[in-house]
Each structure stands twice: as structure tokens, then as C-alpha cells.
Amino acid sequence: MKTFYVTTPLYYVNDVPHIGHAYTTVAADVLARWKRLCGEKVFFLTGTDEHGSKIAEAAAKVQISPLDYATKYASEFKRLWVVLGISNDDFIRTTEERHRKIVQFVFSRLEATGDIYPGTYSGWYCTPCESFYAESDLKDGKCPTCGRAVEILNEDSYFFRLSRYQDKLLKHYEENPDFLQPNFRSQEIINFVKQGLKDLSVSRTRVSWGIPVPNHPGHTVYVWFDALINYITAVGYPMDSSPEAWDSFREFWPADVHFVGKEIFRFHAVIWPAMLEALQINIPKKVFAHGWWTVEGQKMSKSLGNVVDPHKVCDEYGVDAFRYFLLREVPFGGDGDFSQGAVLNRYNAELANALGNLLSRTLTLIAKHFQGSLPSSAYGKLSLLSDLKPLLSRIQGSYDRLAYHEALDETWSLVFRTNKYIDEQAPWKLGPADKEKLSGILAECSNVLQILAVLLAPVMPEKSAEMWKQLGRTDSLAAAARALLKEGVFHPELAQTIQKGESLFPRKGRWK
């Protein structure tokens, strides 16, 4: 069975999650669900990044231990993922013992191979980004990534020999043009590496909240070096040479895709593959850096008080509408703006008026004229979807390129086309003498709606299950999806009795 390993970043636990965190996790979830529907064995990992000065400082402010603080916020992430229907197979916390062991093992191993060596660090550090900068990197004396104040650090440190991997990385980028995506972001990484890589400080003496460096008391592991390793911890990176352990690790490693935001692309595109080269294990197949959301045109920030709470959006519009909006609004990879107007417009135009209305018109007519059950002969000569195979292959291609908005565009072209078909056929004008024609029209619509339920399952799992049920299907959607996506065939269940229920997307007014 083909396997597929997808990850999100491990989020910092200094605060509650917001729509930016929800975005990456929903994108990964949709891909995981799509791959499962295609019959692949998926491992979907998310989790929390809990060490370092950022968390230690946040915990100190409220006078609780960093671990208690981390536990509290990790549970906020877990709670949100349940609400958002996230189907992760694992949730890793960097404070777990399974992770500590691997980080210490990796550190010692790289020290033994000479890839980690002792020295003295002198330079600038940004705590919110947990990042080191040379004087020349700073912008107006501030952090080049977040614009906040940086502090000077002079301390004994262990260094990872990143410079040793410069040529290997450049060769890897060249030979694997799909490794760094989207393409318009990869050139920046290549230029950065071409300018020359400096060795990276990977231990801290002034931060006690971290994984202790083995055999060097007083040093803790740099939080990024620690956190990146999670991706191999979770799939059982072996600490011995047993062939069974390596087989089991290799079932999912190398990862198929790491999803990250654009601000942490470099860590995943440069440092992480260099660490893996040093460990002599394969580099992930793809790192995809998506863009950033602003809110009503402004950068989202606590000080501006405009941080959007995903729970609130879900309360207002429902979980699936939120998931849909995130992936439909912005071409994946680019930046986007989250505004109440944009959510409301898409909700009413695409969900309530287009999809919801198509379902409700179809079910109403089936109930009214056929007591809820179309004769199976009605499905005999379906013609509306003569181009089903090319449509499916375009959707498949969109998912392969992680172009979610295109997959949804294709899907909605079917919704719009079917609504137009009903308008043109005007089944409400047909009388009792036209029952055969009427049943044929409704069978076309019911067939399309069943296919739509399958195609929408990754993005809108709850609504798709609801559609499936209302259309009268009692069998497994997953099984029908496999037949559809693998073989391109779809069998409408014949003579099923519909279960018309609540409106799928009741129209909304402006939210308060």
C-alpha cells in the first residue's frame, strides 16, 4: 500500500491558536483526507514546540512552570483540532520523553561525526522568532523577520557544521526542482545558500528550559534544532541498527510534504535537510511554504487586538464553511486577507445559494413527485457527467500540486453547471404526464450531488456526510470514493429513499 506522510509545523505554546495555525493544519488535514480517500496509508503529524526562551518567558510572567504552561496551551491546540475535525494520526509535544531521547541521540551522533563542535557564539538573537542573526542581517537594528528588538549574545555554544552542506544542498535543489514549493519562493532560498552558509549555534547556556545537551552540563539544545527533529521522532527514527526498526521508520520516511508558513521556510529548506544529510538519512520529498493571512487588511497581532479566534468563526459559520473558506479564498502559497465581508460573500454565494440550494431543490422535488425514492430506471441514461474522468483527473492534478483553490474551482464548476441544468430543464414546470423525464432530470442531479459529496469529503467532512445521508445513501462514502478516484466509476445507489433534513448552509446576515 502506498504511504503518505504529511506534517504541520510544531506550534509554539506561548499563546492560544489563531486562524494562521488553523490554516496550515486544515490544509494538511485536507491533503491527508484526500490521500486516504485515494486509498493511501497516511500518517499525518502535528504537535507543539514547547522549549526555549519564548515559552520560558511567557510562563515566568504568570508564575507557573514552563511545563505546566506548555501543557495548558498544548491542550488548547488539541481542543481546536477536535473542533476543526482534524484527522491527525499523532500529536507530538517536544517535551515528551520519546522526543528528548532522539534529540540527545542525534546531538551525540553529530558530535561524534564532527558535525557538531564547541565554540563561542557572538551575535544577535530574536526571542519571538528564536532565531540568530549576524549584524549585517538586521533591518534598522531590528529583527529582519518580525521587526522586533534583538539582543546581543556572547556565549559558549556548540555549533552545527551547516557550512559543510552548502554544495550538497545546492545540488539537491537543482536535482529535485519539486523539493521547495511554491517555485516563486524557492529562488530566495537558493540565493541565500549560494551566498554562503555559516555554522549554526545549536546549544544555549543561558536558556535552562530546553533539552540538556548530553555530556555537556549547562548547555541546552537550541529550540529549532530540537523541534525539527520531531518529524523523525514521530515515525520511529531508530537509535540502533536493527533492520526491523529501520524498515518501520522507512515505512513513512522520507516525509512526502512538510507544510510551513513562509517565515519558517528557511529552517525547513536549509537547516533541516542539512541535518538529515549529516545523519545520512533521506531528505523529505517536499517542503511547501504557504503565505500569510492578514485580517481586514492589517497584520494580525495581539497589540492591534485583531487576532481572529477560529472558534468564533466556526460558531458563526460552522466548521466546514470555515475550512472551505480558508482553502478557497487564497491560492495556496500566496498571501491572503481574512475579512468578514469575504467570508460572508463566499458563504452565501457558493455554499448557501449554489451547493445548498442544489441539494435542497433536488431533494424537494424527489420528495414531492416520487415520495422520496426515484425509480432505479431513472438512472439508466445519465448524460450530464460525460466528462467525469477528465474532471477527476484535473482535481487529482490540483491536489498533487497542492492547488486546493483549483480543486475547489473545478468542483464548483460542477455545482454551477448542475444548477444551470436544473434552471434550463425547469422540472417544476413538468406535469404528471412527464414523470419519466422528471425522474431522469432528478437522477442526473442526485448523481452529481452524490459525486459532490465524495469530492468535498476532504474539505467539508461533516457536510459531505450529511449530504450523503440526505441523498439516501446508507453505504460507506469511503468505499464509493475509492471506486470513483481509483477507477473513475461511480454507482449511484439505486432506488434509495432520500432523508431530507435541515438546510445544509442556511443563508447568513452580517456577523456581529
Shortest CA distance to 226 belongs to which of 152, 153, 146, 160?
160
Q: Binding ligand ME8 by CB under 6 A: which of 293, 322, 332, 347? A: 293
- Among 30, 37, 162, 227, interactor with ligand ME8 by CB under 6 A: 227
Q: Does 44 bind ligand ME8 (CB under 6 A)?
A: no
Task: State the minimum distance, in angstroms, from the CB of residue 363 to ligand ME8.
Answer: 38
Dist CA 484 CA 489 (whole Å)? 5
Q: Which is nearer to ligand ME8, 300 or 342 (CB)?
A: 300
Give the nearest distance from C-beta 294 to ligand ME8 in angstroms.
7
23 binds ligand ME8 (CB under 6 A): yes
In the complex with ligand ME8, the residue whose CB is nearer, 27 or 504, is: 27
CA distance 372 to 57: 62
* CA atoms 437, 439, 445, 450: torsion sign: negative
Which residue's Cβ has the minimum distance to ligand ME8? 20
The smaller minimum CB distance to ligand ME8, of residues 310 and 427, is found at 310
Identity of the residue numbered 261: G
Compute φ and ψ for 229, nearest 5 degrees. -65, -20
In the bound state with ligand ME8, the residue whose beta carbon lies nearer, of 194 and 312, is: 312
Give kind and range of the element (H or E) at residue 154: strand 151-160
Rank residues 26 and 366 by Cβ distance to ligand ME8 and give the closer one.
26
Site map 323..362 versus ligand ME8, x via CB under 6 A: ----------------------------------------
> In whole angstroms, what is the distance from residue 193 CA to residue 52 CA?
26
Which region, judged by CB under 6 A, interacts with ligand ME8, from 5-13, 369-377, 418-426, 459-467?
5-13
Q: What is the DSSP string of 328-356?
A: HHS-BTB-EEE-HHHHHHHIIIIIIIIII
Q: Closest separation between CB of residue 207 and ligand ME8, Å?
A: 15
Residue 21 vs 463, nearer CB to ligand ME8: 21
Q: Which is nearer to ligand ME8, 293 or 505 (CB)?
A: 293
DSSP sequence for 38-80 = TT-EEEEEEEEE--SHHHHHHHHHTTS-HHHHHHHHHHHHHHH
User: What is the closest distance, in whole angstroms, from the C-beta atom of residue 262 to ligand ME8 in the complex?
Assistant: 7
User: Least distance from C-beta 330 to ligand ME8, angstroms?
Assistant: 10
Q: Are 454 and 464 in contact (CB under 8 A)?
A: yes
**Site membership for ligand ME8, residue 292 (CB under 6 A):** yes
Regarding 369 and contact with ligand ME8 (CB under 6 A), the answer is no
Cβ of residue 59: shortest distance to ligand ME8, in angstroms?
Answer: 15
Shorter beta-carbon distance to ligand ME8: residue 293 or 468: 293
Return the number of the residue (10 or 351) whose C-beta is nearest ligand ME8. 10
If binding is defined by CB under 6 A, does position 21 make contact with ligand ME8? yes
Contact 443, 471 (CB under 8 A): no
Nearer to ligand ME8, 22 or 38 (CB): 22
CA–CA gap between residue 317 and residue 48 (Å, rounded): 27
Task: Identify the bridge partners of residue 3 per DSSP, sorted by sequence position.
Answer: 41
Contacts (Cβ under 8 Å, ≥6 apart) of 82 = none
10 binds ligand ME8 (CB under 6 A): yes
Q: How many residues does the chain have?
A: 512
Distance CA 396, CA 386 (A): 18
Which residue from 103, 126, 162, 260 is in contact with ligand ME8, where contact means CB under 6 A? 260
The SS3 call for residue 153 is strand
Instruction: For residue 24, state whether it binds ligand ME8 (rule: CB under 6 A).
Output: yes
Give the nearest distance from C-beta 275 to ligand ME8 in angstroms. Answer: 11
| 84 scored as a contact of ligand ME8 (CB under 6 A) | no
* Cβ–Cβ under 8 Å, residues 424 and 384: no
Beta pairing partners, 92: 47
Binding residues for ligand ME8 (CB under 6 A)? 9-12, 20-21, 23-24, 49, 227-228, 260-261, 263-264, 292-293, 300
